[in-house]
Chains A and B, each alone.
Chain A
Amino acid sequence: MEPIVVVTTFFAASIRMAIPLALAGLGESISEKSGLLNIGVEAIMLCGAFFSFMVVFSTGSFFLGILAGMLGGLSMSMLHALLSIRFKANQTIVGLAQNFLALGLTSFLFLMSFGQTTTLPSTKVLGDLPIPLLSSIPFIGQVLFSQNLFVYLTLGCMVLAHICFYKTDFGVALHAVGEHPIAADTAGLQVHTIRYIAALFNGILGGLGGAYLTTVKLGFFQENITAGKGYIALVAVILGKRTPFGILGAALVIGGAEALQIRLQTAGTGIPSQLFAMFPYLMTIAALLLTIGSAHDPAALGIPYDRDKR
């Protein structure tokens, strides 16, 4: 292969690897900005992946499948929101419990539906959708504009989120609720409603991230298909400092590491593949170490709001 082709496919692959992380990370950042710490991103993604696969498998419709993925993610994020907002539960513990719940639940439902099979049931995957004209630009056209629908969708979401965070009253409200809920409340904002809305977005975006894995990338489902991507998305949120483009950048770095290690594994270097598999996680730790101390968490992150508390 020519070097330019190698580079192009590497970048294109990095973007594809980054998509689920970016989507789920964006959802989580909205949630965290409002003060809801949901470490159950893994659960959201897993449910998104499972339900979208099931619906695509039984109906053949990608539209319904993606919708089902969003609903699957929503079920998890809204359960978390209900427990954290209404019942003021410990948000970390709820998220953790949900991760195990989703793992067990999706595996169980999968087995119920298909039994023990030697061949994994699979569906066709959502194809690439090159954009006319733009896709014929050298290099950039190949990397950016010859991708699937999800890539464009993610980029669109990032832009919308950026406008929402920094140009609209809702963005200010979100910030206020996560930073100083009492101030938000006395200013006339409905703290709980805003947090539920944030959880809603978290579920939808995380569900999409999960749906991407089954309907676009793989075309099949298996136990623990997300394999820790939800946790990596949490890291992308911190690395990206809860800004949409920061998260996208962080997801691209981690996605790039992932794409690189796959290429190195198959390059036949004689080094055990497990070492390469560690690479994205090492990158993550290194990046976290470099950004220590520069982060500012929302002051009310993880703290339930109780107006009557004296």
Chain B
Amino acid sequence: MPVLEMKDICKSFFGTYANRDVCLEVREGEIHALLGENGAGKTTLMNILYGMYQKDAGSITIDGHEIVFKSPKDAIARQIGMVHQHFTLVPTLTVQQNITLGLRDSGYPFSRERARCEHIDRLSDSYGLKTHSRALVKNLSVGEMQRVEILKLLYRKAKILILDEPTAVLTPQESDHLFAMFKQLKAEGCSIIVITHHIQEVLDHCDRVTVLRDGCSISTVETKGIDAKQLSTMMIGRELVPVARERQNHHMDAPVLELVDFGFKRNGGKVGSVNLSLRQSEILGIAGVDGNGQKELLETLMGLRDHEKGKMVCCQQDISNASTAERRLVGIGYISDDRHRDSLVLDMGIAENLMLRPARSTAATQGHMVNKQCMLEQATRIVKEFSIKSHGLQEPMRFLSGGNQQKLVLAREFIGSPKIIIAFQPTRGLDIGATEFVHNQLLAMRSAGCATLLVSTNLEEILLLSDRIAVIHEGSIMDTIENKAVDITRIGLLMAGVRTEGAAR
């Protein structure tokens, strides 16, 4: 008998379905993957199970009893626990306070700190989840925060554990370690639901998989006897064509961008420092676990933050202290990882968003005046060229899909053929089709001679596109290697801050 059965679950937000007749069945003692693209409804489904959202229709059965959860409190009482993709920890509380938050154990209402810490330490020892129970959460690394989140579930004796994209913040080695721990839990009779969009992860570590697409459940299969191709076809509804990256010789070229002991302020008062050089027609990938200073580095490169020390030289021009506008005029384009916050004005239309560039005079402007007709013509051309789907040029950006929004960002940054593109997680939150488009556009720019600094926490993306790979850890570059028969283990170790001499392992 399954421990959990979700039947014909429907949920809509503002008239669009996030889940439509979704069925999920989880057995005792299995690792069950929930596979699907971004926006397929995986997280929504799990939030319904966890009591965060109320379902519109359908039924949930646990151990044969139909249940209705009004809030996570009810779910926790039925031994369900969930680790959200964006961790739900209070930064200003200690690890112990976060783990025991909302619990009524012996001694309530007084906090019995010592007994609780001892219990946490015991748990962390027996599952290999290293943490400091008295440390403040805001001082933890992302990996440790995840361990705290998992401890939170274990402390609450969860039998069904839900993890939303748990490997997104981990190095390959840490991911293996995580799944090893899941196997231990599985042996103790727990059921684990892992939300993911990485097919390999499903094949390597999970027992069964339920594939979601466009809010519907496509099917549930055993991972034994299925291959990556079949899974990806189920996931995206067609076969995936890998992008091709032909090799180019660029070693002779002088660098277009050079960072010499380039120091930048990191969040939390730390300082990072990097040395990098970027050549024409090259994609330099920077791999690393999220939160190792990537965002701060790129924002400093764009002049959004003051730099600490060192030099940034672009085409023999020192632009260390230049303003953002000056940097853009030199020929640097920037694709942020958060297009809603950094790249677009969501309530303006396509044409207006395309105007958000510091160009002294473009086709669409004469002096300080906007030539509306030219502006619209330019927008029409770009919409066609980048096949952006919208209901007209005046439609506010917020009503476009993520993929179309990102296409517009790309289009705007590529106008006037920049010399350098700084791309930070350019495919974050995009479906596979849009991801392919972005990848092909970046490769096309490379062929056109543009130098690209690609920063991503997705190692697959880095391996796919980069000519050279640099690994960032705690704000500094661990090493830079040619992307030729790379040893993933070595990159993983570098991501974790371990430098190995010569051959890895």
- A218 at interface (Cβ–Cβ under 8 A)? no
Stretch at the interface among A74-82, A175-183, A195-203: A175-183
Judge whether B270 is part of the interface by a CB distance below 8 angstroms. no
User: Contacts A184-B102, A190-B71 known; A169 to B91 CB distance under 8 Å?
Assistant: no
Could you tell me if B109 and A183 are in contact, using CB atoms closer than 8 angstroms? Answer: no
Contact B110 A187 (CB under 8 A): no
Of B92-100, B278-286, B422-430, the stretch lying at the interface with chain A is: B92-100
Q: Are A183 and B101 in contact, CB atoms less than 8 angstroms apart?
A: yes
Complex formed: what's the CA distance from A169 to B99 in Å? 12
Residues of B within 8 A of A307 (CB): 52-53
Q: Does B141 contact A (CB under 8 A)?
A: no
Once the chains bind, are A180 and B110 in contact (CB under 8 Å)?
A: no
Total contacts A-B at CB 8 Å: 83
Question: Is there contact, CB below 8 Å, between B111 and A175?
Answer: no
- Known contacts A172-B97, A172-B101, A173-B102; decide if A183 and B71 are in contact (CB<8 Å): no
**A179 → chain B closest CB, angstroms:** 5
A180 in contact with B102 given A168-B109, A185-B71 (CB within 8 Å): no
Chain A binder among B82-90, B305-313, B331-339: B82-90
Docked CA distance A245–B74 (Å): 37
Tell whether, in the assembled complex, residue B53 and residue A308 are in contact, meaning their CB atoms are under 8 Å apart: yes
Q: Does B104 contact A (CB under 8 A)?
A: yes
- Contact in complex: B109, A169 (CB < 8 Å): yes
Interface of A is mostly: helix
Query: With A167-B111, A307-B52 in contact, is A175–B92 under 8 Å at CB?
Result: yes
Of all chain B residues, the one with the shortest Cβ separation from A185 is B72
A167-B111, A169-B109, A308-B53 known; A184+B90 contact, CB < 8 A: yes
- For A167, what are the chain B residues with a Cβ–Cβ distance below 8 Å? 110-111
Find the residue from A179, A183, A184, A185 having the highest chain B CB count within 10 A.
A183
CB-CB < 8 A to B98: which residues of A?
183, 187
**Is A13 an interface position by the 8 A CB rule?**
no
Task: Decide if B494 is an interface residue (CB 8 Å cutoff).
Answer: no
Min CB distance A201 to B, Å, is 15
CA distance A170 to B111 in the complex (A): 9
In the complex the two chains form, is B73's CB within 8 Å of A188's CB?
yes
Interface residues of B in 44-87 (CB under 8 A from A): 50, 52-53, 71-73, 76-77, 82, 84, 87
A189 touches B101 (CB 8 A): yes
A188 touches B89 (CB 8 A): no
Residues of A within 8 A of B103 (CB): 169, 188
Closest to B14 in A: A310
Q: Are B109 and A179 in contact (CB under 8 A)?
A: no
In the complex the two chains form, is B71's CB within 8 Å of A179's CB? no
Residue A186 is within 8 A (CB to CB) of chain B in the complex: yes
Whole-angstrom distance between the Cβ of B302 and the nearest chain A Cβ = 26
Interface pair A176/B71, CB less than 8 Å apart: no
Closest chain-A Cβ to B357's Cβ sits at a distance in Å of 30
Given A185-B71, A188-B73, A179-B52 contact (CB < 8 Å):
no
Q: Bound state CA distance, A209 and B89, in angstroms?
A: 36
Assess whether A186 is in contact with B91, with CB atoms less than 8 Å apart: no
Closest to A168 in B: B109
Given contacts A185-B72, A188-B73, contact A168 B110 (CB under 8 A): yes
- Whether A168 contacts B90 by the Cβ 8 Å rule is no
Interface membership of chain B positions 390-402, coded 1 if the CB is closer than 8 angstroms to chain A and 0 otherwise: 0000000000000
Nearest CB to that of A194 among chain B residues? B102
By a CB distance below 8 angstroms, the chain A residues around B108 are: 169
Instruction: Closest B residue to A180 by CB, please name it.
Output: B90
Report the bound CA distance from A183 to B95 in whole Å: 13
Q: Is B265 an interface position by the 8 A CB rule?
A: no
Question: Contact at B76–A180, with CB atoms within 8 Å?
Answer: no
Contacting pair A186 B90 (CB below 8 A) = no
Q: State A30–B53 Cα separation when bound (angstroms).
A: 29
- Complex interface: chain B residues within 8 A of A187 (CB): 72, 76, 88, 98, 101-102, 152
List B contacts of A190 (CB < 8 A): 71, 73
Task: Knowing A185-B71, A187-B152, A188-B73 are in contact, say whether A175-B110 is a contact too (CB < 8 A).
Answer: no
Contact with B along A147-176 (1 / 0, CB 8 A): 000000000000000000001111111011
CB proximity of B324 to chain A, nearest CB, Å: 26
Complex alpha-carbon distance, A100 and B378, angstroms: 54
Contact indicator A170/B109 (Cβ below 8 Å): yes
Given A169-B108, A169-B109, A170-B109, also A179-B92 (CB < 8 A): yes
Taking each of A170, A173, A179, A182, which has the highest tally of chain B beta carbons within 10 Å of its own beta carbon? A182
B52, B101, B110: the one within 8 Å of A173 (CB)? B101
Whole-angstrom distance between the Cβ of B87 and the nearest chain A Cβ: 8
CA distance A307 to B50 in the complex (A): 12
User: Could you list 8 A-B pairs, sorted by A, with CB under 8 Å?
Assistant: A169-B103, A172-B93, A173-B101, A182-B88, A187-B98, A187-B102, A187-B152, A308-B53
Which residues of chain A have a CB within 8 Å of any CB of chain B? Answer: 167-173, 175-176, 179-180, 182-190, 296, 307-308, 310
10 residue pairs, one from A and one from B, having the closest CB atoms = A183-B88, A187-B101, A188-B73, A188-B102, A189-B102, A187-B102, A186-B88, A188-B76, A180-B90, A168-B109
Q: A169-B104, A175-B93, A185-B52 are in contact. List 7 more A-B contacts (CB 8 A).
A: A176-B93, A176-B101, A180-B90, A182-B88, A183-B90, A186-B84, A188-B102
